[in-house]
Amino acid sequence: MKKESAYYLAIFVAVLCVWCCILRNYFDYSPNIKLSMFLEFVNANLWLFVILAVVFNLLIWSLFQGVVQGANMVSALEMPALQRKGKSIILDTNKADEFARSHIPNAVNFALEDINAENKALLKHKDKTVIVTCQTGARSAKAAKALMALGFTNINILRGGLVAWSKENLPLKSAA
């Protein structure tokens, strides 16, 4: 479980407990809850329902953000160890101008639009461990799905992309 998901889960459980306590006290343990009483409760505690809904949505969003079935999420600190395990390629899915500004050393640039069955330069890397990266990680998930459709099997996504890489003070390269 990702760290953000654990935080959201803890907040959700806390808000749910508070909500249940208030609900229990409001209805005074009465088994006969009338709709009008419930609507009055919702109206009186609208902020609580809003907080519950927001935290629940954040929890669900954080659990499924960047999840691609069949691809592994790796952190910036895990990536060098993954590279040392064997044949690997860092596939940067940024556009050419973004790639020229900054990229991970030894990364190969294939823009998201270039990931297709006609790209022979890309297909020659099918048997390698592919580490997909982009600026923030959003494009990487789309690229990982496209690579899986092309038959790539060992796909890893850099969680947080170049933003996370640079936050860890890892080296970046630029064309300038």
Q: How far apart are CA 66 and CA 53, in angstroms?
A: 22
> Which CATH number describes the domain made up of 71-167?
3.40.250.10
Q: What is the pLDDT along the chain (176 residues), one digit of tens a residue?
A: 455 566 677 777 777 777 676 666 665 555 555 667 777 877 888 888 888 788 888 777 766 665 666 778 888 888 888 888 878 899 999 998 989 999 998 899 998 888 888 888 888 888 888 999 988 878 888 888 889 888 888 898 888 888 888 898 888 888 65
DSSP string across the chain:
--HHHHHHHHHHHHHHHHHHHHHHHHTTT-S---HHHHHHHHHHTHHHHHHHHHHHHHHHHHHHTT--TTEEEE-TTTHHHHHHTSSEEEEE-S-HHHHHH-B-TTEEE--GGG-STT-HHHHTTTTSEEEEE-SSSHHHHHHHHHHHHTT--SEEEETTHHHHHHHTT---B---
* Model pLDDT, residue 60: 75
Q: Is the dihedral of CA 96, 98, 102, 105 positive or negative?
A: negative
**Spatial strand order in the sheet of 155-158:** 71-74, 155-158, 129-133, 88-92, 107-109
- Dihedrals phi, psi of 84, to nearest 5 degrees: -75, -15
